[in-house]
Structure 1
Amino acid sequence: MTEVNVHEAKTHLSRLLKQVEDGERVVISRGGSPVADLVQHVRPRLTAGLLRGQLHYDSETFDDPDRALARQMVDGPLGPEAG
């Protein structure tokens, strides 16, 4: 772990980002007190059907629903056989 003050973080941001890319954690402090951590970004994993049962279709607001699209939004991706 590396700890730097705000001035050093601004001056050496590219170097600090390289350290983070290499797996190191960098703590940025102001007046000797930690205020932020630089850590590697982790992409969230998206899951199909995550909102199943939480979203509802309002037929008074929308005309002629696309049944295949609605099924895909609820059940996940359609297989090649479903076309």
Structure 2
Amino acid sequence: MEHIGQRELRNDSGDVMRRVEQGESFTITRHGRPIADLVPHARPAPVPGRTLGEIREAFRALPSIDRQRWEAERAEADDLLGEDALDEPSGR
């Protein structure tokens, strides 16, 4: 890890940031004393995508829905809230 002074960081920040982006790390010093480390940001590992077949299998594994029960619960919620909470507000 290379040491650079605070003044050098201020004067050459564009170059220093490009070097950090390329993977270099620096210890920033003030009056010769280390005060901070400047290191590349750790990027999260990419999450592999799912295939359409995998998504279909995941949906098949879900429990079935009792439509009458769902509609009754929705009507109960509408009565409680005074409006159909699942509908889009008017004017949109």
TM-score (norm 1): 0.50
Structure 2 unaligned blocks of 5 or more: 48-53, 61-92
- Give the letter for the 2:25 counterpart: R
Structure of higher RCO (CA pairs closer than 8 Å, 6+ residues apart): 1
Paired residues in the alignment total 53
SS state at 2:40 partner: coil
Aligned to 1:41: 41
Aligned to 1:32: 32
Aligned to 1:80: 56
1:17-65 superposed Cα distances (whole Å, 9 cap, x missing partner): 1111222211111121111111111134599xxxxxxxxxxxxxxxxxx
**Separation in 2 of the partners of 1:35 and 1:80?**
53
Structure 1 unaligned blocks of 5 or more: 48-77
SS state at 2:28 partner: strand
SS state at 2:56 partner: coil
Q: What is the deviation of 1:15?
A: 0.5
Aligned to 1:4: 4
SS state at 2:37 partner: strand
TM-score (norm 2): 0.46
Q: Determine which structure has more spread, i.e. the larger CA radius of gyration.
A: 2
Percent of counterpart pairs with the same letter? 34
Cα root mean square deviation, aligned: 2.6
Kindly indicate which of the two structures has a greater share of residues assigned to helix.
2
